[in-house]
Structure 1
């Protein structure tokens, strides 16, 4: 069993997940990293983490598939024999569309990844950390979104609705798991400089929304990662059930 702290990050190939993984590696964690479709990006993230001194187990896993999630956690067990932190980052916006033009398939996929898949992964993590089940406690941070506050009309109502499940999940898990030595919190990013908008088919969205951000700029994945690592650190030892906005004031 490794003596270093072990963190599992879902959707760690790029964007916020990759930034969390790199920062965790720099700060002394070994890592289990899952990725969905972009092997090259995932391998690049893993190599950067190894260069920072981390041992890395890289696992392909569709975040909507509970069997794949179970296999990813099992791979971490076999490699490291422990789990100290879990970051539920994997998510999907689905394609941009008005509500009238959205499809049942889009709604189903978005909720399978962002809600059901997330719950499954949190359950796997909590079972390993829970003191009543032989764990030593730990921390969970979920990557939520500021989208529920706005509803994302004409573009991402399906995504905003799915991310609206994060806050009550965090509050419920925080209260249920605190006796197991597990703190549960969330980070709610605003407009962050990733490829998420372009991949959803609305690359112009950034230019349209940035002027509404009080700080008048995009955030960076690294700024979100700093919030995640802080919430998982001993510096945040009296914080559980919190949702921390990282949104430039928006």
Structure 2
């Protein structure tokens, strides 16, 4: 196969389409971007502030023969989300997959100590962002709008089931909203060629725990888990790629708990 143009896929002859992954500079998002590149997707690595981390992920995808670009955008802002998706249209082609991965938490706290400013930040990052991005994706992929269909995978959390008492009740509540959105949107667009599913990671070895003030949280809790270990970002990425792929063609409105039995 010729590799004379930027979008050549030397490692496979049937590119899987175009996937946009929000918050893909590190952790689960980065692992998903790398795996998507290996599976033949053209990948948009979205990031908000860490340009070097996003560039590193893009370089890794390209080093394995894949196609990727990094796009800075704050997915809590309507205008920036519109620009993000327009860039994907222009640079990579028609969107076929969206992974709503961007999100955040803050320092461990009891609910009684959570203030309005923190709530606004948590809601924006974990709820507003996925809603705005899903809206843009539906406008492009829905057969109702002339699209060819596609898949949306939301990255929720086991916290949505467990509540995260004494740590992140606000984050858990936000992820509960993501679960509700997943189910509602799945039903809304089921006959428009779009599948909408979610993964609910448990304790995964990523940098998000440092944001909560306990970088070693996974190791502390791991002995109490059924599998006696924390998970790796790559294990979550495998589930996400399954839900993006034709292998899950009759699956929508579903949740995969990637939590080691927790």
TM exceeds 0.5? yes
Shift in alpha-carbon separation, 1:203–1:80, aligned structure 2, 3 A: closer
Give 5+ residue unaligned stretches, structure 1: none
Counterparts of 1:235 and 1:62, CA distance in 2: 32
Instruction: State the SS of the aligned residue for 1:87.
Output: strand
Provide Cα deviations, 1:9-64, integer angstroms capped at 9, x if missing partner: 00000000000000000000001111022221111101011112222221111122
Q: Give 2:227's aligned residue.
A: 215
Stretches of 4+ aligned residues off by more than 4 angstroms:
none
Native 8 Å contact 2:18 2:93 kept in 1: no
Native 8 Å contact 2:75 2:132 kept in 1: no
Q: Give 1:172's aligned residue.
A: 184
Q: Give 2:57's aligned residue.
A: 45
Provide Cα deviations, 1:126-171, integer angstroms capped at 9, x if missing partner: 1100112121001010000000222111211110010011221111
- State the 1:208 CA deviation: 2.8
- Counterpart among 132, 138, 142 of residue 144 in structure 2: 132
- State the 1:85 CA deviation: 0.6
Instruction: State the SS of the aligned residue for 2:152.
Output: strand
Q: Once superposed, what is the RMSD of the aligned Cα atoms?
A: 1.3
Counterparts of 2:108 and 2:75, CA distance in 1: 20
Q: Give 2:113's aligned residue.
A: 101
Provide Cα deviations, 1:189-246, integer angstroms capped at 9, x if missing partner: 0000111111221224223321221000010000000000011111111110001100
Q: Give 1:7's aligned residue.
A: 19
Q: Give 1:65's aligned residue.
A: 77
Give 5+ residue unaligned stretches, structure 2: 1-6, 8-13
Counterparts of 2:236 and 2:187, CA distance in 1: 24
Counterparts of 1:207 and 1:28, CA distance in 2: 34
- State the 1:173 CA deviation: 0.8
- Counterpart among 145, 150, 173 of residue 162 in structure 2: 150
Instruction: State the SS of the aligned residue for 1:218.
Output: coil
Counterparts of 2:129 and 2:21, CA distance in 1: 13
- Aligned pair 1:241/2:258, yes or no? no
Counterparts of 1:66 and 1:109, CA distance in 2: 16
Q: TM-score of the superposition, structure 1-length normalised?
A: 0.96
- Aligned pair 1:224/2:251, yes or no? no
Instruction: Give the aligned length.
Output: 249
- Aligned pair 1:26/2:45, yes or no? no
Q: Which moved more, 1:146-155 or 1:197-206?
A: 197-206
Native 8 Å contact 1:87 1:140 kept in 2: yes
- Aligned pair 1:83/2:100, yes or no? no
Q: Give 2:218's aligned residue.
A: 206
